[in-house]
Amino acid sequence: MDDISGNKIIELERKANDIRQSIIEMLLAAGSGHTAGALGMADIFTALYFHVLHHDPKHPDWIERDRVILSNGHICPVLYATLAHAGYFPIEELKTLRKFGSRLQGHPHRDFLPFLETSSGPLGEGLSQAVGMALADRMDKGRSSDRTFFALLSDGEMDEGSTYEAMMLAGKERLHNLIAIVDRNNIQIEGFTEDVMPLESMYEKWQSFNWHVQEIDGHSFEQIINAVAQAKTIFDRPSVIIAHTIPGKGVAEFERRYEWHGKPPNAEEAKMALAELRTLGGKIKGENQ
């Protein structure tokens, strides 16, 4: 397991809080966008880009970089905010989200941001893209690679048949260089997942397709990082991390409410959310003093 110190966890908690504040500011400026999933995935994106991934913001086309394929592109505010805080582009640009002519489209578009690995929007495609990339990497016999391909997808995408086709192929090909992370937040745009289309037992579904499966608290940096470390020790099959998250995490008014899946905060709601997050940020900083 990855030995992560208490100080490092506090550092990551601070960064995730900053990213959540940026998400609220972006959505307010845009007047549209998805709130709940973006806030809920901030800890996972923070863990990846500030501890786990092999990447270099100064050289985004570095050939040995790990690949992150975001399938549920509607939560792109968390991707954009994380990339900006990691140094890929200025944080000030975040407020151009969804503006005409902006590089920060409502769904990630690789033509505008070449350091993205793929464009995404239609749900159910990202895992297939990641499987193709991981398979091609293994087939490239002219080089030795220890790159990891991370496919991030929503639980609602498991309503899509294409997801299961990708799961089946990855399991058959034993793609150990592939790690899927499922945002198990239990909501989708029409309601709770178990009311719309029951998904359980998700663990057993993935396992039946020959995947190594872990279930974690998606807000525990220790669990996130250790789950990835464990997945990298599996060499006979792909791995999936089912991350239980709270949609709208960090803002009590937004948490666990599917109504916040696809709407932005208005000015009053954003003011309230930012005040709550800044208070939380102050408490995190206080823990290290």
Q: Residue 154 phi/psi, 5° resolution? A: -85, 160
Model confidence pLDDT, tens digit, residues 217-226: 999 999 999 9
138 and 57 in contact (C-beta within 8 Å)?
Answer: no
166 and 132 in contact (C-beta within 8 Å)?
Answer: no
User: Distance between CA atoms of 277 and 268, rounded to whole angstroms?
Assistant: 14
User: Distance between CA atoms of 150 and 47, rounded to whole angstroms?
Assistant: 13
Of 71, 68, 76, whose CA–CA distance to 106 is shortest?
76
Residue 144: is its pLDDT beyond 60? no
Q: Residue 179: beta bridge partners? A: 150, 239
Q: What is the pLDDT of residue 192?
A: 92
User: Distance between CA atoms of 24 and 30, rounded to whole angstroms?
Assistant: 10
User: Distance between CA atoms of 145 and 154, rounded to whole angstroms?
Assistant: 28
User: Distance between CA atoms of 56 and 76, rounded to whole angstroms?
Assistant: 20
Residue ranges per structural domain of the chain: 6-286
Token code pair at residue 231: 């997945």
Task: Please say whether the structural domain 6-286 has been given the CATH code 3.40.50.970.
Answer: yes
Q: DSSP secondary-structure letter at 49? A: I
Q: What is the pLDDT of residue 65?
A: 94
| Beta strands 191-192; 187-188: pairing state | antiparallel
Residue partners of 267: CB distance under 8 A and separation at least 6: 28
Task: Using pLDDT thresholds of 50, 70 and 90, give the confidence band for residue 143.
Answer: low
Q: What is the pLDDT of residue 140?
A: 83
Model confidence pLDDT, tens digit, residues 55-101: 999 999 999 999 999 999 999 999 999 999 999 999 999 999 999 99
Q: Residue 225 phi/psi, 5° resolution? A: -70, -40
Please give the helix or strand (H or E) that residue 267 lies within, else none. helix 267-286
